[in-house]
């Protein structure tokens, strides 16, 4: 017992039996060897466990980094990921998807059907059709959707998803991502509007050029060509200045300088100008360019600029929202008041009729023309219209059919009037805005109307509806692409600018029957 207390694990009785001793030694030797083996195995196991634990921790860290990176990437790309269990109608959303839905991640599961209610109904039906068309061999689909947030805001999303199928081939789960493409859709919308507006302006410009070409009258081909080229150049100048400012306006100083450039020879300044810096609205820049061009052309042919000693002085200012132009000619030949109005005078007068308050005066002084004009710079749809059309209406002969013309491009309106006049109609207008058109039909009865679809950004359709309710047929003109008009306008002719005279004639006869001129021919 004293041996056990000293740490012994066994004993050999005395006298010692050699075989017993040898057996016990073998046992203890084997136990020692196996103990050493167990210690080695334990150390190896601990090492492996440590390595495996470190590997798992590193893998978990990489997974966390990957998930964090994925979350950041989804956030940077305005994306979110989700999973939808079809039979359970339950959703699992990540932080990005909650952000797209404009929701705070809830502490509990979202109510059944709540997420589905955030989809536009038409688009949710489209999603259902898309996943039902999916197959195990082609499980993926894409769909543009509209998301209606709780605030009422509508966002656009692009869904890219894949369907997981059950053992019997039925769709069970949909996993996908949503990309917020609202900014892209808005950019596409702006691009489409810009393209339509560019097309509209181009067609309107072509219609104006067409009117210039057809309205021109000259004694010779050379004179006619020079007149047309000069007017087209004036239009081109205003368009160049407007395009440089993205159609925000044109600097009157630059416009006048360009128009006066041919008359500034060497150091001799025969045409001088002065005034404050003014940015003309887009709808007035063309008018001012044409007015100055017609005045300069007239001065070069008959007035101060036709003489080496002549001089033109142009001054401008702003008073009470009006642009005041003061044109004075001196030193030229003796001036006489013309006995008839030329096209240049008609262009100036038609240009000055855009707004109520616009007015122009010609003072044909012997020493030179003095011309003053006041042009309203307030957008037409904000101003009160001219009563010229209504005043004209009172003088129309009742026995002739009266056609109302509503067109915001003065030259196109002049050309339309000329075509209608040649056909034997009495023309009411052209009215340059809706207020003027309403005054016209309040003062007289009309038998038909030729209407520009867009008046400086204001649609004509409410006015057209009023005419149709009164039984007045209409013909539409547009600088935009031709589209099918909605009811009740779908039977009205729609002509795209620039318009051929024969197309306008056919359109009018479609809604009114033969023109007075055609009826006279038929009666003969």
pLDDT tens for the chain, 524 residues long, are: 555 555 556 666 778 778 877 887 788 788 888 888 888 888 888 888 888 887 787 777 776 666 666 555 555 556 888 899 988 888 888 888 888 888 888 766 777 788 888 999 889 999 889 988 999 999 999 999 999 988 888 999 999 999 999 888 888 999 999 998 888 888 888 777 767 766 766 676 677 777 767 666 667 777 777 777 777 777 677 667 666 666 667 888 888 888 888 777 655 677 888 999 888 887 788 788 888 888 888 888 888 888 888 889 999 998 888 889 999 999 889 988 888 777 777 778 777 765 667 788 889 999 999 999 888 876 544 443 343 443 433 333 335 788 999 988 877 888 888 888 888 888 888 888 888 889 888 888 888 999 988 887 788 888 999 998 888 899 998 877 766 577 678 788 888 888 888 888 888 888 887 766 655 544 44
* Predicted local distance difference test score (pLDDT) of residue 200: 66
Distance between first and last Cα of the chain? 155
Looking at 3.90.1150.10, 3.20.20.100, 3.40.640.10, 3.30.565.10, the CATH number of the domain 216-378 comes to 3.30.565.10
Q: Measuring CA to CA, how many Å separate 257 from each of 81, 138, 458?
A: 61, 67, 33
Query: Is-contact 437 404, C-beta < 8 A?
Result: yes
Residue 248 structure tokens: 């925000």
pLDDT at position 139 is 92
| Domain coordinates in residue numbering, the chain | 11-71, 77-180, 216-378, 388-523
Q: Are the CB atoms for 447 and 475 separated by under 8 Å?
A: no
Whether the CA torsion 192, 498, 290, 387 is positive or negative: it is negative
Residue 84 and residue 130 in contact, taking contact as beta carbons nearer than 8 Å? no
Question: Residue 3 has what pLDDT?
Answer: 52
* The pLDDT value given to residue 2: 56
- Measured CA to CA, the distance from residue 350 to residue 407 in angstroms comes to 12
For residue 523, what pLDDT is reported? 47
For position 372, what pLDDT does the model report? 92
Confidence at residue 398, expressed as pLDDT on a 0 to 100 scale: 38
Q: Classify 198 as helix, strand or coil.
A: helix
On whether the CB atoms of residues 410 and 351 are closer than 8 A, the answer is yes
Whether the predicted model's global pTM rises above the 0.75 cut: no
b/e per residue 187-222 (b: at least 16 CB within 10 A): eeeeeeeeeeeeebbebbbebbbbbbeebeeeeeee
Strand-strand pairing, 426-431 and 448-452? unpaired
**Strands (DSSP E) found in 389-506:** 402-406, 426-431, 448-452, 454-455, 458-459, 474-478, 494-496
Which CATH code, of 3.30.465.10, 3.30.450.20, 1.20.1440.130, 1.10.8.60, is assigned to 77-180?
A: 3.30.450.20
User: What is the rounded distance in angstroms from the CA atom of residue 404 to the CA atom of residue 474?
Assistant: 9
Tokens of 366: 């012997």
Question: Which CATH architecture fits 388-523?
Answer: 3-Layer(aba) Sandwich (3.40)
């Amino acid at each position: 017992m004293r041996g056990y207390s000293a740490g012994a694990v066994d004993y050999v009785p005395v006298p010692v039996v050699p075989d017993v001793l040898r057996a016990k030694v073998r046992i203890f030797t084997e136990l020692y060897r196996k103990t050493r083996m167990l210690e080695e195995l334990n150390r190896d196991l601990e090492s492996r466990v440590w390595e495996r634990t470190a590997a798992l921790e590193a893998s978990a860290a990489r997974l966390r980094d990957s998930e964090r990176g994925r979350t950041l990437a989804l956030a940077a790309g305005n994306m979110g990921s989700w999973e939808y269990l079809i039979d359970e109608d339950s959703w699992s959303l990540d932080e990005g998807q909650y952000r797209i839905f404009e929701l705070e991640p809830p502490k509990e599961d979202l109510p059944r059907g709540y997420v589905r209610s955030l989809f536009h109904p038409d688009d949710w039906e489209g999603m259902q059709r898309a996943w039902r068309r999916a197959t195990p061999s082609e499980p993926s689909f894409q769909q543009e959707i509209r998301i209606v947030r709780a605030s009422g805001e509508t966002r656009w999303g692009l869904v890219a998803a894949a369907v997981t199928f059950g053992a019997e081939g039925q769709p069970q789960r949909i996993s996908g991502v949503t990309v917020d493409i609202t900014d892209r859709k808005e950019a596409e919308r702006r691009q489409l509007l810009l393209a339509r507006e560019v097309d509209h302006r181009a067609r309107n410009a072509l219609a104006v050029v067409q009117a210039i070409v057809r309205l021109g009258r000259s004694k010779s081909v050379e004179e006619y060509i020079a007149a047309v080229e000069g007017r087209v150049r004036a239009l081109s100048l205003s368009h160049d200045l407007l395009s440089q400012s993205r159609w925000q306006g044109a600097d009157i100083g630059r416009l006048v300088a360009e128009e006066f450039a041919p008359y500034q020879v060497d150091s001799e300044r025969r045409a001088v100008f002065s005034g404050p810096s003014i940015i003309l609205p887009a709808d007035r820049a063309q008018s001012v360019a044409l007015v100055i061009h017609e005045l300069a052309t007239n001065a070069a042919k008959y007035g101060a600029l036709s003489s080496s000693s002549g001089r033109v002085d142009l001054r401008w200012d702003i008073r009470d929202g009006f642009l005041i132009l003061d044109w004075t000619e001196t030193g030229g030949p003796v001036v006489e008041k013309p006995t008839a109005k030329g096209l240049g005078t008609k262009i100036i007068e038609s240009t000055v009729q855009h707004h109520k308050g616009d007015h122009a005066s010609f003072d044909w002084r012997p020493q030179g023309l003095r011309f003053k004009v006041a042009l309203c710079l307030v957008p037409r749809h904000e101003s009160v219209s001219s009563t010229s059309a209504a005043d004209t209406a009172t003088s129309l002969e009742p026995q002739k059919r009266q056609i109302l013309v509503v067109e915001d491009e003065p030259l196109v309106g002049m050309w339309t009037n000329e075509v209608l006049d040649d056909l034997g109609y009495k023309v009411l207008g052209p009215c340059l805005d809706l207020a003027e058109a309403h005054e016209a039909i309040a003062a007289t009865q009309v038998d038909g109307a030729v209407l520009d679809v867009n008046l400086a950004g204001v649609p004509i359709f409410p006015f057209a509806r009023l005419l149709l309710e009164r039984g007045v047929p209409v013909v539409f003109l547009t600088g935009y692409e031709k589209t099918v008009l909605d009811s009740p306008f779908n039977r009205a002719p729609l002509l795209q600018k620039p318009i051929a005279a024969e197309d306008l004639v056919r359109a009018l006869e479609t809604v009114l029957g033969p023109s007075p001129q055609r009826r006279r021919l038929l009666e003969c």
